[in-house]
Amino acid sequence: MPDIFFPSDAIKNQAHITEDEYNRLYAESLGDPEAFWDRVARTELEWFSPWEMVLDWQYPQYKWFVGGKLNITHNCLDRHVNGINKYKKAFIHIDEEGVETSVTYMELLERVNRCANALRSLGVAKGDRVVLYMPLVIEQVVVMLACARIGAVHSVVFAGLSDKALRERIVDSEAKVVITANWTKRRGKKIDLKGVVGRATEGLDTVQSIVVLVRDGDACELHTKEVNFDDIVAKQSAVCVPVPMDSEDPLFVLYTSGSTGKPKGIVHTTGGYSVYTHYTTKIVFDLKDNDTYWCTADPGWITGHSYVVYGPLSIGATSLLVEGAPDYPKPDRWWEIIAKYHVNIFYTSPTAIRLLRKHGEQYVSPHDLSSLRVLGTVGEPISEEVWGWFYERIGKGRCVLIDTWWQTETGGHMIVSLPSLPQKPGIAGRPFFGIEADVVDVQGTRLRDGEKGLLVIRKPWPSALRTCWNDEERFEQYWSEIKGVYCAGDLAIRDSDGYIKIIGRSDDVINISGHRIGTAEAESAIGTHPAVAEVAVIAKSHEIKGQAIKAFVVLKSGHSESDQLRNEIKLQVKSEIGSYAVPEEVVFVPTLPKTRSGKIMRRVLRAQESGEDVGDLSTIED
Ligand code: WT7
């Protein structure tokens, strides 16, 4: 396969940003980031009042658009309703049976307003936290926007996490209200979300109400604190004036895993996040007004926040929301949807592509995929082989395929291959405007092209995390691990063209199907099983998921290894965290390799797993 692909003239000629413009604007954006973002913020969004200062950078704190007032829902909704997109479809939802429901910008605004008024009727005010544990339905977006409308801080929890993981997030964020649905469907099976919320909130006085979306008018018994979503929303006015938010007022908290301890609540604020997600959506996806756009992520993760909800709505796009698994009820479900809805821009994960590729060619070829123009991936490295399949078999060699590296913490795309630029398979691309990315050693010294090192960002960008909820210290770690710069926790290599290849995490974080899980988190989940004395987990490579967990378990005396125990341990992880974190492999061992001071040497386990030299063992105890 060639190691570089050039976009077709058709794509290049109509792109928002040409290659020359990228080079010029990128240089300009690094030379004077404040002037660059000032111009973008003014020309792209509507503000209630302007800012006095673009960036206030007092290491390690930073503020963007200081003193500016806006409401993200004004830019996502009212602006379109006041303009030409009033009756344009904002979302088309497709459920597992293929049943379609859609909503225009006008209808979405009214539904958001009703829901915002309903939240107020439950006592939710500016700054209060609302946790969502919802299926991928239009109402999930409505609730997120309703929170933003009144200045409440949403914290979306992916509706595949366990009751314990949900509880931890509700407790940490001190949510007043939790919103859920009676069920979601996955592979034809109804999953009882309300039951999970019930267990997660048992005895929690901080939670005042639980709002339940009762789907399809099913019979649903409501208990104390529980109220019916439709009932409380129906009686509200369809008018709700958006609360003027300060640029630096929090918009949401989203929990993600780190290398140590419990998940941290990443806090994003209003102004910078609005500007950055809007602008990256426009430029990176080259999104045009008549495009149909489909990002397959769930709003339970950052990709859904930035590139299902806020970015595309801010642009005024028509997006698909597709509930359920990619290959259920049939392996060509996604290709059929692309053909039926004439999707132009398709953004997904390498895991999904690997899964669908495995089903075979016969599921792709019958479908007319000629509407596609831009393909994108996110969440994990994509191998050249998988890149090539996606490019040739789905894009038919006509589309541009962009990789996008970013994180929950970064809020938006950081390293990308813009549609008008040459694409290098397996290499994430070049930094977005204003992003000064570099590859350095542990002391922070810049490495030469081709050398592997730590990926850092030298200065704050508008959608950078502002803090970790209730944990400023963990926030500061991002900017102090290598003093003065943001350390992403990834290993990377820069080539002589300035393209950056992401190798994988540099820390104890495992990436399963694009979802992060800390080794410490997985180990503590396994450790809650009564038969487990000690445990260490490592990542092993997995054909579909990219990585999977392999757990080494030392049993307490009196217990002996068995398949039943192995299954119990897996179930324990499912109930502590969620299915996605369940170890692929559990092996029982008599001891774990440790240093003399008692620290588990995971590198020894990793080296053994990959058949590499285990290295210097002089400090090992046993
Ligand atoms: C970690 C962030 C950003 C939304 C989804 C994941 C890995 C992300 C790529 C990519 C290689 C990638 C990194 C990063 N990652 N995108 N294009 N190529 N690796 O967000 O859960 O915050 O995870 O995902 O390791 O640090 P997240």
What is the Cα–Cα distance from 379 to 163, expressed in whole angstroms?
25
Is the Cβ atom of 403 under 6 angstroms away from ligand 1? yes
What is the Cα–Cα distance from 111 to 130, expressed in whole angstroms?
17
Q: Best substitution site from 266, 375, 401, 406 to test ligand 1's pocket, by max atoms within 8 Å of Cβ?
A: 406
What is the Cα–Cα distance from 198 to 167, expressed in whole angstroms?
10
Q: How far is CA 213 from CA 120, 157, 217, in A?
A: 17, 16, 9
* Amino acid letter, 403: D
The SS3 call for residue 414 is: coil
What is the Cα–Cα distance from 2 to 401, expressed in whole angstroms?
14
What is the Cα–Cα distance from 502 to 523, expressed in whole angstroms?
26
Q: How far is CA 514 from CA 47, 160, 303, in A?
A: 35, 14, 10
Beta bridge partners of 102: 92
Name the region of 371 (left: φ>0; alpha: ψ -120 to 50; beta: rest): alpha
* Cβ 9 vs Cβ 398: under 8 Å: no
Nearest Cα residue to atom 5 of ligand 1: 379
* Cβ 592 vs Cβ 554: under 8 Å: yes
Q: How far is CA 255 from CA 107, 187, 302, 377, 409, in A?
A: 30, 26, 9, 22, 10
Q: Are the folds of 87-237 and 509-610 the same?
A: no
Ligand 1 geometric centre to CA of 142 (Å): 26
At 313-357, the pLDDT tens digits run: 999 999 999 999 999 999 999 999 999 999 999 999 999 999 999
Ligand 1 geometric centre to CA of 464 (Å): 15
pLDDT of residue 615: 73
What is the Cα–Cα distance from 131 to 153, expressed in whole angstroms?
9
Ligand 1 geometric centre to CA of 407 (Å): 5
Is the Cβ atom of 69 under 6 angstroms away from ligand 1? no
* Cβ 129 vs Cβ 174: under 8 Å: yes
What contacts 588, CB < 8 A, 6 or more positions away?
553, 554, 555, 561, 565, 566
Q: What topology is assigned to 509-610 in CATH? A: GMP Synthetase; Chain A, domain 3 (3.30.300)
Q: Best substitution site from 516, 545, 547 to test ligand 1's pocket, by max atoms within 8 Å of Cβ?
A: 516
Query: How would you classify the pairing of strands 209-213 and 177-181?
Result: parallel
Nearest Cα residue to atom 2 of ligand 1: 407
pLDDT of residue 620: 65
Is the Cβ atom of 158 under 6 angstroms away from ligand 1? no
pLDDT of residue 289: 85
For residue 226, the tally of other CB atoms under 10 A from its CB is 18
pLDDT of residue 259: 85
Is the Cβ atom of 380 under 6 angstroms away from ligand 1? yes
Nearest Cα residue to atom 19 of ligand 1: 380
Ligand 1 geometric centre to CA of 405 (Å): 6
Ligand 1 geometric centre to CA of 520 (Å): 19
The C-alpha angle with vertex 224 and arms to 122 and 125, in degrees rounded to 5, equals 15
pTM of the predicted protein model: 0.97
Among 562, 592, 579, 589, which residue's Cα sits nearest to residue 522?
579
What contacts 157, CB < 8 A, 6 or more positions away?
131, 132, 133, 165, 166, 169, 255, 300
* Cβ 324 vs Cβ 186: under 8 Å: yes
Report whether CATH 3.40.50.1100 matches the domain 87-237: no
Nearest Cα residue to atom 14 of ligand 1: 407
pLDDT of residue 622: 55
What contacts 543, CB < 8 A, 6 or more positions away?
354, 358
Ligand 1 geometric centre to CA of 215 (Å): 33
* Cβ 581 vs Cβ 525: under 8 Å: yes
At 404-435, the pLDDT tens digits run: 999 999 999 999 999 999 999 999 999 999 99
> Which parts of the chain register pLDDT below 70?
618-622
DSSP state of 242: P
What is the Cα–Cα distance from 444 to 114, expressed in whole angstroms?
51
Q: Best substitution site from 281, 309, 378, 403 to test ligand 1's pocket, by max atoms within 8 Å of Cβ?
A: 378
pLDDT of residue 619: 64
pLDDT of residue 44: 98
Residue spans of the domains in the chain: they are 87-237, 509-610
Is the Cβ atom of 298 under 6 angstroms away from ligand 1? no
Ligand 1 geometric centre to CA of 501 (Å): 12
Q: How far is CA 571 from CA 137, 339, 499, 528, 567, in A?
A: 28, 39, 42, 11, 6
Ligand 1 geometric centre to CA of 298 (Å): 15
What is the Cα–Cα distance from 328 to 212, expressed in whole angstroms?
26
Is the Cβ atom of 502 under 6 angstroms away from ligand 1? yes
pLDDT of residue 419: 96
The SS3 call for residue 528 is: coil
* Cβ 344 vs Cβ 373: under 8 Å: yes
Q: How far is CA 457 from CA 13, 57, 205, 444, 544, in A?
A: 31, 14, 41, 11, 30
The SS3 call for residue 369 is: coil
